[in-house]
Amino acid sequence: MPHTTDAEHYLAFDLGAESGRAVLGTLDGRKLTVHEVRRFPNTPLSLAGHIHWNVYALFDEMKAAMREAAAAIGTRPTSLGVDTWGVDFGLLAKDGSLLGLPFCYRDHRNAGAMEEYFKLVPRPALYEATGTQFMPFNTLFQVYAMVRERSPLLDAATDLLFMPDLFNFLLTGRKAAEFTIASTSQFLDPRTKAWIPGLFQAMGLSKKLLQNIVEPGTVLGEIAEEIAVATGLRHVPVVATASHDTAAAVVAVPAEGRNWAYISSGTWSLVGVEEEAPVISEGSRDANFTNEGGVGGTIRFLKNVSGLWLVQGCRRSWSADGPVTYDDLTRAAAEAPAFATLIDPDDPGFLNPPDMPEAITEYCLRTGQKPPATKGALVRALLESLALKYRRVIGQMSLVLGHPIEKIHVIGGGSRNALLCQLTADATGLPIEAGPAEATAIGNILVQAMATGRVSSPAEIRAIIRGSFELRTYVPSGSAADWDAAGARFKAIRPA
């Protein structure tokens, strides 16, 4: 435990694919409180037929939030840290300037790159080397897409920085690759925590683009003078926190004991367990599980499932005709008939369609199902299908690990969705403990507190969270037979 009971303040930037937030955490003894200082949209830019992240707009928002945080607490924070989504990156020129805006992982340039890369390094060998789930937008395949296009950016680049590492560089001038974000790339050996140069060399590149790897909780240095002038904050250490947003969320799982799993529920749903070593086997490869870095030497053994992205996409389309709230959609879904339509949330047609409801209608017709007739029925179908996807992944995970899962922790924004949590309990037959909703920002903050010596270990982080935030429990209440029948239907869905 820390020796002081004086309150300390930590500033977390949590940047997601839909929005960014600046969150102040105040740690007073063993009690943590969090306060959102600023929220801002993360709106991708469409330029020359491609989708990019507007890094400059995001960084301006971060600097504005730093000024607001200083005003809110009347002093400088103890430290600050940045977490973001995985796989995406920026390229730097020799002088440190950014070579164009980073591409969004949903950009069409990645189409077919994964399958073509397997001609250079076969799929089984690539999984054995990296233990990484195959997704068409992994960093490896994004870089190969640039090689395939003979992108001049690669010729000019001297450094590749993942998104949180890029923001840390803009804040401090230091280049580094934080372990948890690096582990999303499919360039890393999770056993040795080292880059695999042969994966770069197979496509004619050198690994010199990649940075030295640092552990989560590494103090990178103080904010640069130009940032201090712009924000009024000086001598604030920047911590390479658990920089992948899922890693930050998982360290904030308020778990005790063993045989628990987590679902980090947001735009994506990350379904997994925490392990002491990578799990790389034929079974994990066939089930397409990934091994990503965690805090304190742990490995996050998980599968990415396309989560509330589909609901978000529907809401965006429907909002063109007037305001539509998530609460209204969830209430309508609760009243809709059960198991009318089942949808695989990971169907490729849902990656980035121009109109999500239309894409879902087309999917239903391709799979021989009647499309939902109302907004409530459509959202009900999406939430039930997510719960069934969780059920399948948890079952696969138990088989690969060789032991049962006895409890599921749902963290992140989806933990606020009582209907989804109850459906998940019913589908899996397992108790659900939901919360904290702000898990990513909380994990970011408490890894900073560990880096600065205020917190001693990940176990203490979880004890602080259990004592600081209200959690809600859901127990299975639906008909197991009905869910078994729905599970069989879900498994059998195949596009025509």
Q: Is 245 a catalytic residue?
A: yes
Nearest partner of 100 among 164, 145, 51, 43, judged by Cα: 51
Structure tokens at 257: 């004991």
Report the C-alpha gap between 63 and 81 in whole angstroms: 13
Are the beta carbons of 220 and 240 closer than 8 angstroms? yes
Pairing of strands 45-47, 50-52: antiparallel
Report the C-alpha gap between 233 and 337 in whole angstroms: 54
Instruction: Out of 245, 344, 347, 426, pick the active-site residue.
Output: 245
Report the C-alpha gap between 24 and 38 in whole angstroms: 10
Pairing of strands 89-92, 194-195: unpaired
Residue carrying structure tokens 């600023």: 38
Structure tokens at 227: 């940032």
Are the beta carbons of 233 and 151 closer than 8 angstroms? no
β-strand partners of 409: 262, 433
Report the C-alpha gap between 242 and 228 in whole angstroms: 24
- What angle in degrees, to the nearest 10, is found between the helix axes of 309-318 and 356-366? 120
The DSSP letter of residue 384 is H
Query: Any idea which residues carry the catalytic annotation?
Result: 245
